[in-house]
Amino acid sequence: MLKSRFQVLAKHAGLRARGLTTINTRRSLQRATTTLLLGGASAAVAAYLLLPDISRGAPTRDNIPLSPSHFTPAKLVSSTITSSGTKILTVAIPPELLPKGSDLFAPIWSVFIKDDDIQVERPYTPLDRVDENGNMKFWIKRYQHGEVSRWLYSKQVGDTIEIRGPLKTWSWKDGAWDEIILISGGTGITPFYQLLGTVFSSNSSFQGRITLLHSSRTPSELPPRDILDPLLKFAQHNPEKFRLKFFVDSFGETKGQSSLDLEVHKGRIGKDSICGALHSTSRAPWWRSLFSQDSDVSDRKILFLVCGPEQMVEAIAGPYGRNYSQGPVGGVLRSLGYKSRQVWKL
C-alpha cells in the first residue's frame, strides 16, 4: 500500500504487452485476454504515468474540471476520528468542476492529494463515487513518520486540500472472472470497498463470486462502521455472490470475540483461510490434483487482488519486482499454484 502502486502498474502493463506477441494456442489466447484485461485497460494510465512527472509542475486551476493534469482546490467538509491514527475525511469539489463521463469514476480509481506545505503528493482511494455535491470520502491512516499522511490527518474542517485525478488503479470488467478473492490489510480495504460498492449497488450483471478477506492488527483498528456496515449488507443481500471474513493479529485490549458484534478470527490470512474462501468448481477428476495442482487452479477464471502493507502483500502474493514491476507470484498464492495473470498486487 505504501509503495507507489501507480509505478507498479505502469511497469507491469509494459512488460505484459511485449509478452503477448508469442501467444498462439487457444488456451494462451484465453490467458492473453485475461492478461489484457488486467494490464491493457490500465495501459493508457500506465503510459501517462511513465511520462515525465507532470505533478511537479501541475498548476492549480479552479475554473476548469477536475483532471489528472492540474490540481483542483477542494474543501474538507468533515473529519471523523475512526480509531487511533485513522480518520474518515470528506472532501468537496465544487460540483461545477466535476468532469463528465461515468467511466472516469469506474472502479478502481484514486486521486492524488498534495501536501502544499512541502509540495509532495500521494495517492488516496475515495470510498464511493463522487456524489452530486462533489463529495469524496476517504479512510486515511496517519503514519508516524509519514510526510503527507500526517499533514492530511492534521487538516481541519474548512481547510483547502488540492486534488488531481481521477486515475485508474485497476480496471473492473464484469464477467471476466468467475471468482475473485480480495485480500486486504489496514487501509488497503479502500479500493475493495470502492469496487464492491459498484458491483453490488449498481445494475452490474456480475454472476461470479467475491470473497473479501480483511485483516487488521487489533479489533479497534478494524475498518469503521461507515465501511463495515455497507459491506455486511452486501453480504446479507447477496449470500451466493459475496462473503467476507475479518481477521486480527490479536484481540488486544478487547475481551475476545465475545465482546465484539462482528465475527472476527484471530490469526493472519494464510493458506488455510485462502483455501477455505475458494469455491471449488473444478470439473477435473479428483486424481488429477494428485499429479498437478497447477493444471487445476491455473485454468480457472479466478483472480486475487491483494492490497495492504508491503510485508503482507509479500507473504500472500510475493514481493513487488525490480523497478516497481508486479514481480512473479510468490508467497502463499504461488504455493497454491496460481499464476501471474491470476494475481494483482495493488
Binding residues: 122-124, 141, 148-149, 190
Give contact residues for ligand FAD (rule: CB under 6 A). 1-2, 4-5, 110, 122-125, 138-141, 143-150, 169, 187, 190
How many CB atoms are closer than 10 A to CB 27? 10
Q: Which is nearer to ligand FAD, 46 or 302 (CB)?
A: 46
Phi, psi of 328 (to 5 degrees): -70, 160
Would you state the cell numbers that stand for residue 307, as one nine-digit string? 492490497
Q: Of how many residues is the chain composed?
A: 346
Q: Which is nearer to ligand FAD, 133 or 154 (CB)?
A: 154
State in angstroms the smallest separation of the CB of 146 from ligand FAD. 2
Runs of H (alpha helix) within the chain: 5-19, 26-39, 43-50, 147-153, 190-201, 225-237, 271-277, 288-291, 293-297, 310-317, 331-335
Q: Which is nearer to ligand FAD, 168 or 300 (CB)?
A: 168
> Residues 57, 119: contact at Cβ < 8 Å?
no
Burial group, residue 265, by CB count within 10 angstroms (0-12, 13-18, 19+) = middle
Burial group, residue 53, by CB count within 10 angstroms (0-12, 13-18, 19+) = exposed
Pairing of strands 302-307, 179-185: parallel
State in angstroms the smallest separation of the CB of 189 from ligand FAD. 9
State in angstroms the smallest separation of the CB of 7 from ligand FAD. 9
Q: Which is nearer to ligand FAD, 5 or 129 (CB)?
A: 5
Q: Which is nearer to ligand FAD, 109 or 300 (CB)?
A: 109
State in angstroms the smallest separation of the CB of 320 from ligand FAD. 11
Which residues define the annotated binding site for FAD?
122-124, 141, 148-149, 190
State in angstroms the smallest separation of the CB of 149 from ligand FAD. 3
